Every structure is written in structure tokens, then in C-alpha cells.
Homo-oligomer: A and B are copies of this chain.
Amino acid sequence: MERHFDQQLGALRKNLIQMASLVETAIANAIKSLIERNSELASLVVKSDEQVDTLELELEKQCVDLLALRQPMAIDLRFITAAIKITNNLERMGDLAVNIAERVIPLNQEPQLKPLIDIPRMATITQTMVKDSIDAFVNKDTALARAVAERDSTVDSLNDQIFRELLTYMMQDPANITRAVHLILISRHLERIADHSTNIAEEVIYIVKAKVVKHRSTSLEEIS
């Protein structure tokens, strides 16, 4: 019985890692489709979301089944309730990757507005946050989780900076407006992905330390 429970927990962990890996790929491809102006890749990202959604439903079922059938205590209970929330965050991150890809497609139909510098920089930091938050979860590494949460303010500042720069592009020439708005929203989507990584990192700290670190700072949800 005990061993069977461990196997089920292992299966849950494996599915979570698989879902995280799908979401990481979706984010990486969404960014790549923007930088390389590859609309085919962007369409692929949109299509791949179905897999993420399927895994989400499976994971939710696994969590509820484990809670119902096993009645776990303490650390296992915390792991499972955190898994429900991590799954939700991953699903939203997958959606945000789709949102980015959906803006890349119309952007690619027009000439490039400007060479992209800050958005790729922001994307690199965000992707590291996504990866590290999942690694922190897999390895129960609270130091890594804390490092993720700390990087969130850098992403917020970059988003702010990108927003202001694109505003000036719009003011200079109305022909820039549509493309600039797409880029502003892509930057916002990235900032939201970083927020979700921070949520995951905070869940990891919660699992390990049973100590809620959310709402330490209102800056996490401040914007653009």
C-alpha cells in the first residue's frame, strides 16, 4: 500500500514534469517564432496547446484521486495541493505562449518595426525563471526557488522599459502603432509568464517549508 502510494506520487510528479516541459517548449518556440519571424512555428505553438490542456485534466484527476483514495498527510498532502496550483499556473503559461504566438503571426505579415533587443533579453530571463521554478520543484530546492522570485522585479522593469520605448515609436509614426501594440502585449505576456514562474517558486517554498511567502511584496503584480 505504502509503496503503491509512492508509485502514484511518482506518476504525478512525472506528469507534472512532462507538462512543464511542454510549456517550456511552447514558450521557447513562441519567442523563436517572434525573433526568427517564423509564422509556421507560431502556428505550431497554437496547435500544441491541446496537449497541455489534456495533461492538465489528467493531472487534476490524479491529484483528486490521490486525495480521495489515499488520504495523505503532512508533506504529501502539501505536495498534492501545491501540484493542483502548479498545474493551473502551467496551463496559464501555456495559454500565454499561445497568446504570444497569435500576435507573432500578424506581426510577421508586416516589415519588422525595429531590431528586437529588450524583448529577447526579457524572454531569456523569463525562460530561465520557468526552467528554474520547475527544477526547484523537482529537486525541492528552496534556494533556487527564492532566486526565481527575486528575478521577477528585473522582468517587471524590462516590461516597463519596453512599454515606454514602444510608446515613443507610436508617437513618431502612426504606421508603427499596430505593430507596437502587438509588441507591448507580447512583452506583457512574458511578464505574466514570469509571474506564474514566481507563483510556482513560491509553491515550492510552501511545500518544503510549509511557510507561505506569497504577498511578501505587492511589486509582483505591478505592471507595464
Does A150 touch B at the CB level, under 8 Å?
no
Residues 71-86 of A, flagged 1 when their CB comes within 8 A of B and 0 if not, give 1011001100100110
Q: Do B88 and A53 touch across chains, with their CB atoms under 8 A apart? A: no
Q: Give chain B residues whose Cβ lies under 8 Å from the Cβ of A184.
A: 181
Smallest CB separation, A84 vs chain B (Å)? 6
Q: Give chain B residues whose Cβ lies under 8 Å from the Cβ of A170.
A: 170, 174, 177, 181
Does A64 touch B at the CB level, under 8 Å?
yes
Smallest CB separation, A109 vs chain B (Å)? 16
A interface residues, how many (CB within 8 angstroms):
43
Chain A 187-224 interface residues, beta-carbon cutoff 8 Å to B: 188, 212, 214-215, 218, 221-224
Q: Give chain B residues whose Cβ lies under 8 Å from the Cβ of A53.
A: 214-215
Name A212's contact: one of B60, B74, B85, B98 (CB within 8 Å): B60
Smallest CB separation, A152 vs chain B (Å)? 14
Q: Give chain B residues whose Cβ lies under 8 Å from the Cβ of A50.
A: 215
Q: Give chain B residues whose Cβ lies under 8 Å from the Cβ of A74.
A: 68
Quickly give the copy total for this chain: 2
Chain A 53-67 interface residues, beta-carbon cutoff 8 Å to B: 53-54, 56-57, 60, 63-64, 67
Q: Which residue of B lies closest to A103 (CB)?
A: B223
A interface SS class: helix
Chain A 133-177 interface residues, beta-carbon cutoff 8 Å to B: 167, 170-172, 174, 177
Does A21 touch B at the CB level, under 8 Å?
no
Q: Do B171 and A99 touch across chains, with their CB atoms under 8 A apart? A: no
Q: Do B84 and A77 touch across chains, with their CB atoms under 8 A apart? A: no
Does A95 touch B at the CB level, under 8 Å?
yes
Does A178 touch B at the CB level, under 8 Å?
yes
Name A177's contact: one of B71, B167, B222 (CB within 8 Å): B167
Bound-complex Cα distance A71 to B102 (A): 44
Q: Give chain B residues whose Cβ lies under 8 Å from the Cβ of A174.
A: 170-172, 174
